[in-house]
Structure 1
Amino acid sequence: MPPVRKFRKEDIIKVAYDIAKEEGFTGINARRIANILGCSVQPIFHNFTSMEELCRVVYDQIYNKYKEYMVNARNSNYKPYKEMGLAYIRFAADYPEFFKAIFMNNTKLSTENLILNDDLGNDVIKAGQELTNLSYEEQKKLHVKVWIFTHGIACLVATKTVEFKENEINKLLEDSIRQMIIGYKHEKGENK
């Protein structure tokens, strides 16, 4: 009798992650993972109580990949606010299925809660404050507008609806942020 091959939890997660990377979460199912691993579904359910649990673990890894992009941009010495917007769009371009899983599913969150659902949102707002000198609350309002614009570009990129060159995105983002800041300050009567 040949030895029974043990499948580590990490092996199962890696296969599910790779499927999500190519096809999104809809491609993840126990039978598919088992076929790729060359086993029955038993090792999957030995390591995870349900497919939902496995998908949560994969989602956490995907979100960590997104955070890696954003943290690297936040730590940039060159215009961190704009760099974080570019990183958001770059993530959508590099990992379209991951981007869709995080930001294009039916989250049922308000815009503010979606933006502020973790420390990254606060970091982006603080980076914006350094640029605008607005209060936290004012910057949060401005950031919602900037984020909606940036999210629109990222969605177009992730769905391959429009193909942008990096320099086009850079210019669009820089010009739009500048104009939104001017408009916001004009609205407040600052006219700077």
Structure 2
Amino acid sequence: MRRKVYTKDYILKAAYELVEKEGFTNFTARNVAKKMGVSTQPIYLEFENMQDLKNTLIEDIFTELKQSIFVQEHTGDKLVDICINYIDFSQKKPKLFISLFVDEYGGGKQMYETSFEYFKEAIMSDPTYSDLSEADISALHDGTWITITGVASLMISGILQPNRQQIVEIIQHTIEGIIAIRK
């Protein structure tokens, strides 16, 4: 019996490289296969369709973000640290950041929902935020998401270049404002 040459992981690696370089705009079976130097057949043997490949890729990327990027400590405040790490990720991998969080063809709703679940778990484990209601956490997630995505996007475009202290202050002011409004 022949063994599989192109495993699911190999296809995901090629898909990741394509998205990291070109975004989701050109995310097709043909382009992923071209990246691997093969026909599209191995892709459709491992994945139901391109949406399945895309969903799996986004899940894998978010798992990596949770395990190695979003856990970095900077201030001791989990919420501020997650926000800083999100902005740092945008600066280290701007094309991938845009593909996942900004581009209309990207992760969109899936990234929003996945990030909310992670955000909720992380925030509830921090005593500073553990007494917040689900509605408060949702408002905090949406408000900080809007703020840090704006900061990250403006930094990528070169319009703003705040230093770390300014970034922390922007995040803290956003958090304080949302919590004050919710009380």
Quick check: TM above 0.5? yes
Identity rate, percent: 23
Q: Which residue of 146, 161, 164 corresponds with 2:161?
A: 164
Deviation at 1:162, TM superposition (A): 3.0
For residue 117 of structure 1, report the CA deviation from its aligned partner: 5.5
After superposition, where does 1:2-151 map in structure 2 within 5 Å?
Answer: 6-68=5-67, 69-70=69-70, 72-73=71-72, 78-106=76-104, 107=108, 114=112, 118-126=116-124, 130=128, 135-136=132-133, 137-138=135-136, 140-142=138-140, 144-151=142-149
Whole-Å separation in 1 of the counterparts to 2:118 and 2:175? 21
Deviation of 1:89 after TM superposition, in Å, equals 0.5
**CA separation in 1, counterparts of 2:28 and 2:175?**
46
Shift of residue 15, structure 1, vs aligned partner: 0.7
Q: Retained in 1: the 8 A contact 2:80–2:172?
A: no
- What do residues 5-46 of structure 1 show as CA deviations (whole Å, max 9, x unaligned)? 832222222111110111112232222233332322222222
Residues 1:176 and 2:170 are matched in the alignment: yes
Flag the 1:30–1:142 CA change in 2: closer, same or farther, 3 A. closer
SS at match of 2:128: helix
Matched-pair contact (CA < 8 Å) for 1:63–1:102: no
Amino acid at match of 2:26: G
Q: How many residues are paired up?
A: 177
- Tell me the amino acid that sits aligned with residue 87 of structure 1: N
Structure 2: how far apart are the matches of 1:151 and 1:33? 28
Contact persistence 1:85–1:173 (CA under 8 A): no
Aligned partners of 1:184, 1:33: CA distance in 2, in Å?
42
* Alpha-carbon displacement from aligned partner over 1:95-149 (angstroms, at most 9, x marks no partner): 223322332244469xxx9478543221454377617x87435465455433322
Q: Which one-letter code corresponds to 2:166 in the other structure?
A: L
Counterparts in 2 of 1:41 and 1:78: CA distance versus 1, 3 Å: same
TM-score by length of 2: 0.72
Which ranges in structure 1 are unaligned for 5 or more consecutive residues?
A: none
- RMSD between aligned residues: 3.7
Unaligned runs of 5+ in 2: none
CA distance in 2, matches of 1:184, 1:14: 39
